[in-house]
Amino acid sequence: MGEPGVIKHELGETCVPLKPQRIIAVDSIALEALVALDKIPIGITYPQFFASKANLLKKRITGISYIGKEFQINLEKLLELNPDLIVGVYGLEPRNYQLLSQIAPTVKVKHFQSDWQTPLREIGKIINRTEKVEELLTQYEQRLTSIREQLEKKFEKLEVTVSRIHGGMKIPEFSSQFSFPGGIVNAVGVSMPLHQRQLIKTPDDILIILSLERIDLLDADALFIAVDPGAKEAFQQYQKTPLWQTLNVVKNKKVYTVDSGYWVHGSILSANAILDDLAKYLLKTE
């Protein structure tokens, strides 16, 4: 992304302060990366559908000002905070980039689905925390290797579904190995069921949306399902259907409801939280 001071990015070239002190994170991935790198932003946004990062970040974001929702920033609140840097990953678009750039230096970090390490490294460069990034990634890889080895010892074969009930559309979907959560599950050596893999044609197929009639495609040895805050009632209705009751994963009581705050997309802290869940439910460790 260029030398420190001048950052080249998707939407332009930005001169950033060498030691920014008043950073705004316009989306949850930027927020999480900054917190992980011990650079707490002064302003953040509420997510659109999935759960917030509050449960994951806990006390580390207590007292931070909210400046509206993702893609619906309250400019008046933003101006009051007098930021010296604005950072976004998926929450910055050309239309709001031009506007925000007039308020403070604004950087758009490229969003990748399964490759969450690249945005983390780029944010590390922006705020001069590159050594911290590599330290965190090394620790993560060590955990990943340990869990993969334990799973290999315990299971000869294990197929896992990663699913979500969307808070906007109120319908189920499953994630591919090219998604953020699916990529992590794949990295620990666990595969998607064959009937799901056959539907994934290209790396752009990060998820497959299902109708109620096709929730049989969720069947696997284990099912991790992230239920958005606005979709809890819809999920309860799905669970009452005869088709849901016929799933082997349901009969075997291997359905695990997980937090959509970190099972949809995220950075290093979400990735570690997913590893925690995989170890907790698949290896039965607390």
CATH number at residue 251: 3.40.50.1980
Quick check: 61 and 35 in contact, CB under 8 A? yes
Tally of structural domains, the chain? 2
| pLDDT for position 171 | 85
| Angle of helix 180-187 versus helix 268-282 axis, rounded to 10 | 50
When comparing pLDDT for 146 and 285, which is higher? 146
- Tens-digit pLDDT profile for residues 258-279: 999 999 999 999 999 999 999 9
d(CA 87, CA 90): 10
Quick check: 235 and 165 in contact, CB under 8 A? yes
- Tens-digit pLDDT profile for residues 117-129: 999 999 999 999 9
Is there a single domain that holds both residue 105 and residue 185? no
Is there a single domain that holds both residue 165 and residue 262? yes
| pLDDT for position 81 | 97
- Tens-digit pLDDT profile for residues 98-109: 999 999 999 999
| pLDDT for position 279 | 96
Is there a single domain that holds both residue 217 and residue 112? no
Q: What number is the average pLDDT over the span 181-208?
A: 95
> pTM score, two decimals?
0.92
Which residues span the domain enclosing 15?
A: 6-128
Burial class (CB in 10 A: 0-12, 13-18, 19+), 101: middle
Please report which confidence band the pLDDT of residue 3 belongs to, taking 50, 70 and 90 as the band edges: very low
Is there a single domain that holds both residue 114 and residue 159? no
Q: Within a domain: residue 143? A: no
